Amino acid sequence: MQKKATVTIIFLTVFLDLLGFGMVLPLMPIYASDARFLASPAEIGWLMAIYSLMQFLFAPLWGRLSDRVGRRPVLIIGLFGSAISYLVYGLAGSLLVLFLSRGMAGFMGANIAAAQAAMADITPPEKRAQGMGIIGAAFSLGFVLGPAMGGLLAGYGAETAPLVAAVITGMNAVAAIFFLAETRDLSHEEGPITKRAHPLSLHPWQQAKAFPGALMVCIFMGLFITLFAAFEVTLPLWSQIVMEWTEDSVVMSETGYLFAYVGIVMAIVQGGVVRRLVPKWGEKRTALTGMFLISMGLMLLANAGGYTALLISLGLAATGAGLVHPGLSSLVSLNTDEDKQGLMMGLFQSMSALGRVIGPVWGGALFTLLQGKIFLISAVGLAVMLGLFIPLSRERIKDVREINETA
């Protein structure tokens, strides 16, 4: 019963965290370009990228720290840090302060890695993918409802959404103090690597070499997000071309509906389908099936000729994405020792963040030249990943079915 309560609290913590994030992110280009800041398109791009850059650098360090001091304090510190960053963002009077607030948000953004490590602490191997799917569902729902709330609050002033996000995230942090139990067993003796290394050491990759299978999955996750993020950032532009939308208000609202549709499909898959597939297929086959579905969806999207085609192609891609993330995150956890879950989940989040920096850059740069053909590049890239992952993972990466067979 206590584990179920902890799972619920982790779900709510991640959901509320992403709700606040989703309220702020879609409005950032409009907010940063108003008369107070006058940010150029390039500056807006960097403003959105600095969050992921800071996560790439610091998520592994926070993950390692959670192995040393526990998941609970790292989650609480991250939530309070996020709340302060939203407050600074909403009250900013200069572009420099905006950059500082987003950099701080990325630096303190250890919540997902710590939540994944906490979920790994309380779920047995056969339910690990289900636990990661629950976190993924919270992530997706936060991204669905956050932009909708942000859009509603924008009518009361551009700074309203970040200030409300600060309140929600701050309340989330306070609730975590009272209701979130520590999941990490800190009573056992730590291994020699942990003893020698300072918790803020700058060599997490050195320790990660002890887990080559998990490290390989982290690298594959970075490649996957690099391809998938290019699709996310160019979808509004492509849907505008396909549907011949001309008014900005129509483009913004219809794009919001499409992203909400993607988020809902992903949440359903992560929250319900994954737990049924993984016991039968294992995490590797589940993730590979997801990559195949995304590849098919992107090929259809490149040739979409109307709204129905958009919905079908996005439905396939969203279903695939809902399988890939919990599958890969579970593989990282299963191929990592218990006392290094935070470290490897931090690296997993770090590689995701790197993909979210590189993906929009190459996607945006090539879309002007290639338009819908850019989705074919991502589809081919995913097919190559499939071809590489199958032989490389055969001996190095174990999923729950293989672990049970050798037990």
Q: Look at phi and psi of residue 182 and say left if phi exceeds 0, alpha if psi is from -120 to 50, else beta.
A: beta
**Which amino acid type is present at position 26?**
P
> Does the pLDDT of residue 270 top 80, yes or no?
yes
Structure tokens at 147: 């932009």
Residue 375's Cβ-side half-sphere holds a number of Cα atoms within 13 Å equal to 26
> Does the pLDDT of residue 193 top 50, yes or no?
no
Instruction: Answer whether 169's CB lies under 8 Å from 42's CB.
Output: no
Lowest mean pLDDT among 29-33, 46-50, 124-128: 29-33
pLDDT confidence of residue 2: 64
Structure tokens at 258: 């499409």
Query: What is the tens place of the pLDDT at every residue in 360-400?
Result: 888 878 887 888 888 999 999 999 998 898 888 887 888 77
Band (pLDDT 50/70/90 cuts) for residue 239 is confident
Instruction: Answer whether 332's CB lies under 8 Å from 214's CB.
Output: yes
CATH class held by domain 2-182+202-406: mainly alpha
> H/E element holding 211?
none
Query: What is the tens place of the pLDDT at every residue in 108-133?
Result: 876 788 888 899 898 888 888 888 88
The residue ranges of every structural domain in the chain are: 2-182+202-406
